Homo-oligomer: A and B are copies of this chain.
Amino acid sequence: MDVPETLIHMASELFARRGYDATSVSDIVEAANLTKGALYYYFSAKEDLLYAIHQRFIDAEMQQAQQIVAMTEEPVGRLRQLIISLVESIAEYHDEVTVFFREMHRLSPDQFAAVRQIRDAYQRIFEDTIAWGQALGQFRSDIEPRLMTLALFGQCNWTYTWMRVDGQLAPQQIGARMADLFLGGTLASGG
């Protein structure tokens, strides 16, 4: 397998399990059955691995969101698909996501800014979708899109703390329920 790829993968796993600082470069190369020299041939610093992990998730997620935007034509369906896609990605990139949410503050200022820029663009896709729904009268308008997006992100992102690959519900099912809840709320309707 490709050496830098292997290193990123191994680093994701270890950073997710033990934390970035608690994982030594030695740990990574040992797990990958390589030498430190090899690592430093491809990455100029441990931090670059952290950055690569961040990019890997945010880029994948951003791309999916853009595809969904291109393929949907009304706000409710678009939002539902965005939610499910997000939850599925969190399951698929579980290690990367764990590192992403827990260690972003360890990035260098430059790297942090780069990641943040894409993250903000990603967030704006959700905000715009909600604002669109509000304009159409399909979404409640008493709460600002930004706050609603943050609430939704909380719901979805938090799954990284408890969602298991071998859990009762598949990520797709969990995503569907998150969409149901976010859209419909908790109170029993009708009656």
Whether A143 lies near B185 (C-beta < 8 A) is: no
- A contacts, CB < 8 Å to B: 18-22, 76, 79, 102-103, 105-106, 130, 133, 137-143, 147-148, 150-159, 162, 169, 174, 177-178, 180-189, 191
4 other A-B residue contacts (CB within 8 Å) besides A140-B185, A147-B174, A155-B158: A141-B188, A151-B155, A154-B157, A183-B187
Residue of B nearest to A153 (CB): B158
Q: Is the CB of A19 within 8 A of B140?
A: no
B151 close to A181 (CB less than 8 A) = yes
Complex: chain B residue closest to A173, CB-CB: B147
23 CB < 8 A contacts A-B: A19-B20, A21-B21, A22-B106, A102-B102, A130-B186, A138-B188, A139-B188, A140-B184, A140-B185, A140-B186, A141-B188, A142-B180, A143-B181, A147-B174, A147-B177, A151-B177, A151-B182, A154-B154, A155-B158, A182-B185, A182-B186, A184-B187, A185-B187
Complex Cα spacing A105 to B23, Å: 13
Provide the bound-state CA to CA distance between A104 and B182, in Å: 28
